[in-house]
A and B are shown apart, each in its own frame.
Chain A
């Protein structure tokens, strides 16, 4: 069965510093991987999605993630943090069509704080 582990439930960075949010996945077949962001009292918004077309995926708001099969990782990065990036970030995996038993599996989330 597929699973997702997000390392660090809380990450704090200074404004302008590099953002690195870690995600490791487990899947027996090539996965589809997602990063979603959730602002307080809001729904989830898709940041980016890996579909095997390219290992480096660029998303919205300056975020990107790199798929590394050998490390089973899909870490999210942003070169320079902005105050508006403070939010909860969820990594998710799906590796099969739902009617074949797969579904979107979320990690536990990482709360990003940005200090002025």
Chain B
């Protein structure tokens, strides 16, 4: 089945230690998104790639970076995680942006010690 895969499902890191989260897709979609979701809150869009074009949300901290080396893979890098960065990180894909349906992966739950 075509799908969005996130690895790892659970990640524990230490305060200030860089961490990378991975997302891959077999849907061959043009757009890949990264969301941050804190407990009992709605997902918050961090950024997205439309093909190789990177689009950052205005309020996304510089501590968060992303890479998309090819159509299938997208990475979220947190350069110096703080306690406030502990959250569920969701990857999603869509054919196009805006009104197209977004398909979500299962998420990676990040714990910062």
* A65–B15 alpha-carbon span in the complex (Å): 44
Contact residue among A41, A44, A46 (Cβ-Cβ distance under 8 Å from B43): A44
Near A by CB (< 8 A), chain B positions 67-109 give 88, 90, 92, 96-99, 101-107, 109
**Interface 1/0 per residue, B26-54 and A, CB below 8 Å:** 00000000000000111101001010000
- What residues on B are CB-neighbors of A63 within 8 Å? none
The answer to whether A103 touches B107 (Cβ under 8 A) is no
The answer to whether B42 touches A94 (Cβ under 8 A) is no
- What residues on B are CB-neighbors of A111 within 8 Å? 40
Q: How far is the CB of A3 from chain B (nearest CB, A)?
A: 12
- What residues on A are CB-neighbors of B105 within 8 Å? 43
- What residues on B are CB-neighbors of A61 within 8 Å? none
* A49–B55 alpha-carbon span in the complex (Å): 25
* A103–B42 alpha-carbon span in the complex (Å): 14
* A43–B5 alpha-carbon span in the complex (Å): 10
- What residues on A are CB-neighbors of B50 within 8 Å? 98-99
Shortest Cβ distance from B105 into A: residue? A43
Q: How far is the CB of B47 from chain A (nearest CB, A)?
A: 11
Q: With A97-B99, A98-B98, A102-B98 in contact, do A43 and B107 touch (Cβ < 8 Å)? A: yes
The answer to whether B98 touches A45 (Cβ under 8 A) is no
- What residues on B are CB-neighbors of A75 within 8 Å? none
* A96–B97 alpha-carbon span in the complex (Å): 9
The answer to whether A98 touches B101 (Cβ under 8 A) is no
Q: With A106-B42, A108-B42 in contact, do A43 and B98 touch (Cβ < 8 Å)? A: no
24 A-B pairs with C-beta separation under 8 A: A32-B99, A34-B101, A42-B107, A43-B92, A43-B104, A44-B90, A44-B92, A44-B104, A46-B101, A46-B102, A90-B42, A90-B43, A94-B98, A96-B98, A97-B96, A97-B97, A97-B99, A98-B48, A98-B97, A98-B98, A104-B45, A107-B42, A108-B41, A111-B40
The list of the 9 closest CB pairs from A to B, nearest first, reads: A98-B97, A97-B98, A43-B104, A106-B42, A32-B99, A44-B104, A98-B98, A43-B106, A43-B107
Given A42-B106, A46-B103, 5 additional A-B pairs, CB 8 A: A42-B107, A43-B105, A45-B104, A46-B101, A102-B98
